[in-house]
Amino acid sequence: MTLRIVRREAGQLQSPGLSAALHPVLQRIYLARGVRSAAELDISLARLLPVGTLEGIPAAVDLLLQHRSGGRVLVIGDFDADGATSTAMMVRALSSWGFAAVDFLVPNRFEFGYGLTPEIVALAATRSPTLIVTVDNGISSAAGVAEARSRGIDVLITDHHLPGARLPDANVIVNPNLAGSSFGSRSLAGVGVAFYVLAAVKRRLDEAQLTAAGAAHPAQFLDLVALGTVADVVPLDANNRVLVAQGLRRIRAGRCVPGIRALLELAARGHEHLTEADLAFGVAPRLNAAGRIDDMTVGIQCLLADSDEAARLLAARLDQLNEERRAIEARMQIEALAAVRRLRDPGPHALERSGVCLYDESWHQGVVGLVASRVKDRVRRPVIAFALAGEALLRGSARSVPGIHIRDVLDSIAARHPELISKFGGHAMAAGLTLERAKLDTFARAFDQEVARWTGHAGADAIETDGELAVREIALETAQALRAGGPWGQAFPEPSFDGTFTIRSARVVGERHVKMWVEVAHSGRAFDAIAFNHIDAHCEPVLPEGPMQLVYRLDVNEYQGERRLQLLVDHLLPLGQTRD
C-alpha cells in the first residue's frame, strides 16, 4: 500500500473569533480542526453540558437514593482503565456521601468474560446487594440483568457502549448512545457517564441538605475522569476536552488520588507539566496491565488507596504486571507480523485482504487487543486478533482504521451470517467478539468481504498532517505553545507536520527505536529526532539515511531540569511520496 500524505486545510488564514495573541502555528492548527471562536476553546467547568440533559439521570438519582440508607450498593466495572477509574470514582463518591454500604466487583476476564453475565451476577449475589450499578458496561447484558432482577436485585446501568437491538430490562439505563438521546455528546467515556450521574446525586443531596461537612465535591474526581477518558481513546469533543483539561489541572496541582501519583512516579512522569500523553503512555498501560494479565481488582484498589504508602505498594504490583504484559506482547507481535507475511500472496506483493484475522492457540487473551492495534498500524487495515477462551471458543479484539466503523462491520456480518458470532460489542475503532473456534475460517472470509464493501469509504492509506513548518517555526517555543494548546486526542488530533529532511546520523536505541540528527533541506538547520518502535525485533535493522520525507510532531524533551526541542518521527517516507 502506497501511503498518501493528506494535509488538513485551515480554510482561512485567521479568524476574528480567535485571539490574535495565539501563536500563529497554534491558530492554524485550531482552524484546521474547525475551531472558529475563543468560546470553543473555553475549558472551564461552566462549559460542560448540563447534567440534567443526559437522559435517565433523574431516575438514576431516584434509584440510587432509595438504596442510600438501608441498601447495599455493588458497583460492577469493566476490566480496563475506563472501568477501573469509573469503579473507583463511584465507590469513593457514594461512600463520601453517606451511602451505608458500597462495594465493588470486577469480572476476571479469563473466568467470567466481559460484562454483567449471569455468572457474575451469581457471584455478586453472595454479597447480598440490593442494587447493582454497572459502570462502563451493561448495555449488552440482557441475560445478566434478567438474572439480577429475578433475584430481586435492582440494576442501574451506566455505560457508553453502543446498544444492540434489544436493551436489558434494567430499572434505569444512562447511556448517551441510546436511540433518541438528545444529549449533546455521544463521546463520553464510561467514566464520563458515571461522573454525570454522580454530579446529579450530589446536587440532589445538597438540595435536601443531606451531605455532611467535608463531603467530596464531584470536581474532586476529575483526575479519575481525565485518566479514564484518555485511556479509552474516546473522541475529544468539546465536552470531553473540558473534562480532560480540568482533570489534568488537578493532577498538575498535586490534587489527585495517591494511586495516580504513585503510577506517575513509577513512569518517571513529573506531575507539574503533565500532559494527556503522560496519562496515555505512562499511567494507563500500567493500570490496564492488571485487567490484561491478572485481575483488575488490584488496579481499582490502587485508585482507592488513601495513603501514598499503600498506593506505592499496589502501583509496584501494577508495574510488575506491565512488564509481564510487555514481554508477552513482544512475542505475540513477532508471531502476528510473521503470520501477516505469510498472508501476502505471492511473496513480497501487497497484502490482498481487506480485513485481517489472526489467531494462535498460544496467544494471551488479555493482550490480543494490543497486538491487533500494532498490526493494524503496520498493514493499515482492520485487524482482529483471536485467543482461546476455553476449548471451543475464541475471543477476538478488533481494531480499525479511519472510515471503517468496526462495530457496524460486525453488525453487518451478524445480520448476513447469524450463526457465526456468538456475541460482540464496541465502537467505531475498536470492538470485541466471541465465536466458536470451528467457525474462524468462515468468519475470516466474511470479515474480509464485509470490510471490502467499506474500502471505498476508508482512508487507510492516508496520513493526515498539518502541512509543513517554516524553519523558524521548528522551535521550542512552538512546541511549548502546542503543548499548552491541548488536550489533544481522538477527533482533536495532536498537531503533526511533514517536510523534507536529510538524515545526518542514525543509531538504534532501546533495541527498537531510532535516534537521529535530521537537517531541514537546504537550510543548514538540524534537529534532534527519534522514531519510536521503528525497528522490527525480528529483522536486521535498516537505518534511514539521506533525504527523506518525515511526518513528525514537536515535543518538549525535559531532562535534568532543561527543556529542549525534539522531533517525534511517526513516519519516514521516500521522497516523492504521494501528497494530496
pLDDT at 578 exceeding the cut of 60: no
Domain count, the chain: 3
Q: How confident is the model at residue 100 (pLDDT cuts 50, 70, 90)?
A: very high
Q: Does residue 348 share a domain with residue 217?
A: no
Q: How confident is the model at residue 161 (pLDDT cuts 50, 70, 90)?
A: very high
For 34, other C-beta atoms within 10 Å of its C-beta total 11
Tell me what pLDDT residue 164 has: 85
**Which pLDDT does position 541 carry in this prediction?**
62
> Is 493 inside any structural domain?
yes
Cα distance from N-terminal residue to C-terminal residue, the chain: 16
pLDDT score recorded for residue 510: 82
pLDDT the model gives residue 1: 58
* Element (DSSP H or E) covering residue 368: helix 368-379
Q: Are residues 448 and 475 in the same domain?
A: no
Q: What is the dihedral of CA 114, 119, 124, 127, to 10 degrees?
A: -150
**Is 579 inside any structural domain?**
no
Tell whether 264 and 308 lie within a shared domain: yes
429 inside domain: yes
Q: Is there a single domain that holds both residue 180 and residue 194?
A: yes
What pLDDT digit, counting tens, does each position of 186-206 carry? 999 999 999 999 999 999 999
What is the reported pLDDT for 539?
A: 58
Q: Evaluate if residue 211 carries a pLDDT over 60.
A: yes
Question: Is 578 a domain residue?
Answer: no
- Based on the domain organization, do 124 and 172 belong to the same domain? yes
27 domain residue, yes or no: no
Average of pLDDT values for 545-572?
91
Q: Which residues of 551-572 are buried (b: 16+ CB within 10 A; e: fewer)?
A: bbbbbeeeeeeeeebbbbbbbb
143-164: average pLDDT:
97
Instruction: Report the pLDDT value the prediction gives residue 319, as an integer from 0 to 100.
Output: 98
- Mean pLDDT within 38-63: 96
Domain C-terminal end among 439, 460, 481: 460
Kindly report the pTM of this predicted structure: 0.92
Query: Helix (H, G, I), strand (E, B), or coil: what is residue 472?
Result: helix
pLDDT of 557 higher than 80 = yes
Contact 357, 421 (CB under 8 A): no
Q: Cβ–Cβ contacts within 10 Å for residue 179, how many?
A: 7
Q: Are residues 517 and 569 in the same domain?
A: yes
Q: Are residues 193 and 224 in the same domain?
A: yes
Q: Are residues 454 and 470 in the same domain?
A: no
Burial of 227 (0-12, 13-18, 19+ CB in 10 A): buried
**CATH value at residue 390:** 3.10.310.30
Are 499 and 428 in a shared domain?
no
The domain that contains 528 carries what CATH number? 2.40.50.460
Q: In this predicted structure, what is the pLDDT of residue 345?
A: 53
Q: What is the pLDDT of residue 461?
A: 76
pLDDT of residue 346 exceeding 60: no
Lowest-pLDDT range, 53-62, 107-116, 252-261, 355-364?
Answer: 107-116
From 405, 437, 460, the end of a domain falls on 460
Share of the chain above pLDDT 90, in %: 79
pLDDT band (50, 70, 90) for residue 540: low
pLDDT in tens, 461-488: 789 999 999 999 999 999 999 999 999 9
What's the confidence (pLDDT) of residue 347? 47
Q: What pLDDT is stored for residue 349 in this prediction?
A: 45
Question: Which among 133, 127, 183 has a CA at the least distance from the CA of 159?
Answer: 133
- How much is the mean pLDDT over the chain? 92
Average pLDDT (316-339) is 95
Averaged pLDDT for residues 214-228? 96
pLDDT at 397: 97
Q: 110: domain CATH number? A: 3.90.1640.30
What amino acid occupies position 523? S
Query: Does 549 reside within a domain?
Result: yes
Question: Which pLDDT belongs to residue 348?
Answer: 46
For the chain, percent of residues with pLDDT exceeding 70: 94
Lowest mean pLDDT, pick from 54-58, 235-239, 556-560: 556-560
In a domain, 43, yes or no: no
Beta strands in 379-420 (DSSP E): 383-388, 393-399
What is the residue range of 449's domain? Answer: 344-460
Same-domain status, 68 and 207: yes
Question: Do residues 351 and 386 share a domain?
Answer: yes
For residue 408, pLDDT over 50 is answered with: yes
Mean pLDDT of 22-30: 94
Answer with the one of 431, 460, 489 that is the final residue of a domain. 460
Shared domain check, 292 and 402 = no
Q: What pLDDT score was predicted for residue 114?
A: 82
Mean pLDDT of 447-454: 93
Structural domain includes residue 333 = no
